Structure 1
Amino acid sequence: MENEVTLKRFLEIRRELGHTQAEFAALLGVSNTTADIERGRTKLSGKVITELLKQFKVNPLWLFGESEQKYLETSHTSVIPKVVTVDASDNENMVLVNAKAAAGYPQNISDTSWYRQLPAFDLPIPEFRNATYRGFQVEGDSMLPNLHPGEWVLARAIEHIDHVSPNKMYVVVLQDSVMVKKIEKRPNSNNITLVSLNETYPPYNIKPFQIQEIWEVGSKITFNVDATTDSGLLRQLQASMEELKNQLQHVKKV
């Protein structure tokens, strides 16, 4: 039977990662549920310990109560693109990931053949030189009013999580999803906070190792541009007011 510290810490990791016993069992390759491990009925196998280290960077020494460092390599997590695509002339091009493709992106992130199904193009504009860019389609309304569902963002690859700014938006590729968020890192905290611009979506915390890639949003492509947006209406109103003023002045002179 495992010692109480190990059982307590195994349970702590599962809860911290937000998985049920069945979900955690599936991730770790354990049949059915982790309940027996947590109750001390089943020994924590080498395979499970390896998966905890490989998938979640859990320090085995911490798990057995011999270290206070829970995670390994949290400050050195690589978030650079796993695959970069080039055109026939060996020039790097910009891959477009639509909302449908984004659903499979995290699982195929290192599969070079998967990227061939995605459209790609070269954008001959100086701002898009000397860096790796990718286009992502916005899904959902969590970044309203800045980004609307169906719009596209063009984003630059970030090498390290320390390079993020709280004033910018990012495409964050997690182990199971792709989303556009602001990123906040609090001092003396192991957590990364993902923040939506739409205040109906509460911020939530993740661990650095859960991030596979980060792309800094630099511009967006929008369609169905409407001349009667709020700013357009405001300009029309201002023009009408100026015209009214001119008419009044003309009346006074007469």
Structure 2
Amino acid sequence: MSLFSDNLRYLRETRRESQQQTAESFGIKRGRYEPYESGKVEPPYDILKKISLHFGISIDLLLSVDVRKYDLSQLLLLDDNRIVLPITVDANGNDLIEIVPHKARAGYLTGYADPEFIANLQQIALPFLGPGKHRAFPVGGDSMPPHDDKSFIVGRYVENLGEIRKDKTYILITANEGITYKRLAEKHGDAITVEPDNVIYSPYQIKLSDILEIWEYVAHIGRDDRKAEAPTDVYGMFADLKREIGSLRQQLG
């Protein structure tokens, strides 16, 4: 038996279906289905997708999480069963904002879909943010001033890539970079171009296939009340140079 086969049996029995009924819903015979549930054979991708849609749970949870431990009604199901997002709520059912600390940055890349990992994060409530699922992420580096290593960005979960807008800032969870906070510069067919607000750093592309989650900026939490320093001469020089290059491109275009 495997974690996946245990999950499959549990989900079928929860729905009070026979193996024959479940197999028929996938368009296969019981003899082909039974080895998936006993752990003797792993299903191909097309069957795995049908299993995910039939039971209303994402593939990553089916393969990596013991679903018997969780109340599936407390997971946020997104369109077309693309992903099931773990959420936390208070005793009254109100949304709680999980805080991803600096020490959990690396772990978030593998734990973002694990309800146990999310449940163990600290939570706060910010009722003024309004509807939507929110989460707070640490900022790293100096690419997005005035936010620094002491700041946290609170983001609202973006369910559809079509919702993202040019010039807005987003927390992007990607397979390569992990957690990154950048401004959207352009949208392409299979990628997006993001740019830091610090002009010293260059824009770059991220493939849509590498994006695991997107959170739109709604607020930030900072621990530094020092007055922002005036840009140095070097910073100003780069800013002027960037403006000149942009103006030249427009003239040539």
Secondary structure of the structure 2 residue equivalent to 1:212: strand
TM-score scaled by length of structure 1:
0.54
Change (3 A) 1:225 1:111: same
For these two proteins, the number of residue pairs brought into alignment is: 157
Tell me, which stretches of 5 or more residues in structure 1 are unaligned?
A: 1-46, 55-75, 231-254
TM-score scaled by length of structure 2:
0.54
**Contact 2:146/2:228 (CA < 8 Å) preserved in 1?**
no
Tell me, which stretches of 5 or more residues in structure 2 are unaligned?
A: 1-41, 50-78, 231-253
Percent identical residues: 28
Which has a greater percent of strand?
2
Aligned counterparts, 1:23-102, within 5 A? 82-102=85-105
Tell me how far apart the structure 1 counterparts of residues 80 and 170 of structure 2 sit (CA, whole Å). 17
Tell me how far apart the structure 2 counterparts of residues 174 and 78 of structure 1 sit (CA, whole Å). 19
Tell me how far apart the structure 1 counterparts of residues 175 and 81 of structure 2 sit (CA, whole Å). 13
Which has a greater percent of helix?
2
2:140 corresponds to which residue?
139
**Contact 2:167/2:185 (CA < 8 Å) preserved in 1?**
no
- Range moving further from structure 2, 77-86 or 91-100: 77-86
Aligned counterparts, 1:194-209, within 5 A? 194-209=194-209
**Contact 1:78/1:212 (CA < 8 Å) preserved in 2?**
no
Tell me how far apart the structure 2 counterparts of residues 146 and 79 of structure 1 sit (CA, whole Å). 35
Change (3 A) 1:154 1:81: farther
1:235 corresponds to which residue?
none
Deviations along 1:61-93, one digit per CA (max 9) or x if unpaired, are xxxxxxxxxxxxxxx998877222112332221
2:66 corresponds to which residue?
none
Change (3 A) 1:198 1:229: closer
Is residue 2:114 matched to residue 1:111?
A: yes
Change (3 A) 1:221 1:162: same
Is residue 2:119 matched to residue 1:129?
A: no
Tell me how far apart the structure 2 counterparts of residues 228 and 213 of structure 1 sit (CA, whole Å). 31
Name the amino acid aligned to 2:183: K
Identify which of structures 1 and 2 has the higher relative contact order when contacts are C-alpha pairs closer than 8 Å and 6+ apart. 1
Question: What's the C-alpha RMSD, in Å, of the aligned pairs?
Answer: 3.0
1:27 corresponds to which residue?
none
**Contact 2:98/2:123 (CA < 8 Å) preserved in 1?**
yes
Deviations along 1:92-117, one digit per CA (max 9) or x if unpaired, are 21001122212111111111001122
Tell me how far apart the structure 1 counterparts of residues 136 and 215 of structure 2 sit (CA, whole Å). 10
